[in-house]
Structure 1
Amino acid sequence: MAPRSTIDLRKKTVEIVLKKKQLTDVVARVGVVLDISGSMTQQYRTGIVQDVVERILAIACKFDDNATLDVWVYDNEFSRMPSVQEGSLQHYVTKQILNNPSIHKFGWNNEPPVMEDVIRKYTIEESSDTPAFIIFINDGGVLKSIKKVITRSAVLPIFWQFVGIGKSNFEVLKRLDTMQGRVVDNANFIHWDRIDHVSDEELYDKLLNEFPQWLRAAKQKRILR
């Protein structure tokens, strides 16, 4: 199990941010999609990705009735991983991803297939009126074809929060807010060179910045009830 003090402190920080953004009554399914392309090798091996999983699990603990975080990893292939709860968090990345020979890792980027699997899980396999909040971690090289997936999924109860880490220019992701042809704006992009240098409060504040706006717009368009 992860050190209780760490995850508990992070849940308290999430709670503060949720109150500030008037999200305390929101129920949502939470998923994280982790880039595991070759350029991410160092972030996995130094524990940065493990820490990111813990930080996002704290959000899931407040949004999700089961306090569960769904996880995907992708490079040019993708894997849907076992979901994470507090009891399975410790060494999750090492045990489930790095030491798992069946997981394709450190190849090149191909986002659309993993995005389609996220859509499949939340709208076909586990269809629900509960919104899905998807945090998508990437360090650059995103394919332009993600725009088609995002546009098509604008009528679905899924919000894509892209997080860029590192020094790439993220040209495709920077244009998400100005994409045309969607019923609602269902995607946002934020960027940090070093996510491990960002405080929990800043991280949660930025991650949850556009989600409330999407919730309101999706209800107006009857995407959500």
Structure 2
Amino acid sequence: MPPREQAPAVSLEKLTKTAPGLVSLYKEAGVSLEKQGLTGQRAAVYLVLDRSGSMREYYRNGSVQHLAEQALGLSANLDDDGVVPVVFFSTDVDGVAELSLTEYAGRIEELHAGMGHMGRTNYHWAMEKVIEHYRESGATDPAFVIFQTDGGPYSKAAAERALCRAAELPIFWQFVGFGDPEGKGFDFLRKLDDLPVPEKRVVDNAGFFHAGRDPRGLGDAGLYKELMVEFPDWLAEARAAGIVRD
């Protein structure tokens, strides 16, 4: 069943007044949604950020901050308040915060700098934190999670279990890889993306694409295009399975 509403969650007029720096991203995200027939779709947008030691340069050069702004541009189309909950993870969950249309400039580096040691890579703790936050929020719209990482997790079995359990919830996980596209760590994400249905999970609730060594070089339009590749199919499958209810 198509979305009932036919307009973005936050109007262009409101965004221009509150967050003029996000207008271009908002428009690019809107174009991608329109191409998929998702204008008017509502969803909570989450951002999960890898803080393992190998991510240091991506925080330093602004790649992570820009991804956060891209997430806000998408959220302004999908979520009425445009707020993006952010989960930072490494060995464990390093911190949880929010980005808003009025508080985002330089915010990622500020938060990151206050979290201290950058550890290893464990997806499942971050996934469980997103699930906990979503359940406690009382949301009725589905969630779209942008899950950024530059490698595979140390606890692969735990990550797979978390994803399979989460398939029964109205949460879609879009994994985004930073770094060497040939890196062996991404083999696990390709496997995770292809976990069989229904043998392992009730619906296909995840996608994966690689943004490369220079994620900003992908461009905003390219990023939004990749984000929307599998989300529409998941929405249809999740509605058919009664997981998403409009």
The TM-score with structure 2 as length reference comes to: 0.85
Confirm or deny: 8 A CA contact 1:75 1:104 kept in the other structure: no
2:178 pairs, out of 153, 157, 165, with 165
1:115 pairs, out of 127, 141, 153, with 127
2:74 aligns with: 59
1:140 aligns with 2:151: yes
1:187 aligns with: 206
1:43 aligns with: 58
1:11 aligns with 2:26: yes
SS in structure 2 opposite 1:150? helix
Confirm or deny: 8 A CA contact 1:77 1:104 kept in the other structure: no
Q: State the identity as a percent.
A: 35
Please list every run of 5 or more consecutive structure 2 residues that lacks an aligned counterpart in the other structure. 1-17
Q: How many Å separate the matches in 2 of 1:12 and 1:79? A: 32
Q: Which amino acid aligns with 2:109?
A: T
Aligned CA RMSD, in angstroms, stands at 1.5
SS in structure 2 opposite 1:32? strand
SS in structure 1 opposite 2:156? coil
Deviations 1:48-68 (A, max 9, x none): 111111111100111111011
Q: Which amino acid aligns with 1:185?
A: D
Confirm or deny: 8 A CA contact 2:87 2:129 kept in the other structure: no
Would the alpha carbon gap of residues 152 and 104 (structure 1) be closer, same or farther in structure 2, given more than 3 Å must change? farther
Confirm or deny: 8 A CA contact 1:74 1:105 kept in the other structure: no
2:108 aligns with: 93
Deviations 1:58-90 (A, max 9, x none): 001111110111101011121342211121111
Q: Which amino acid aligns with 1:211?
A: F
1:206 aligns with: 226
Shift of the alpha carbon at 1:111?
1.3
Q: How many Å separate the matches in 1 of 2:66 and 2:79? A: 20
1:74 aligns with 2:89: yes
1:129 aligns with: 140
Q: How many Å separate the matches in 1 of 2:96 and 2:72? A: 14
Please list every run of 5 or more consecutive structure 1 residues that lacks an aligned counterpart in the other structure. none
Q: How many Å separate the matches in 2 of 1:151 and 1:141? A: 17
The TM-score with structure 1 as length reference comes to: 0.93
Shift of the alpha carbon at 1:104?
4.5
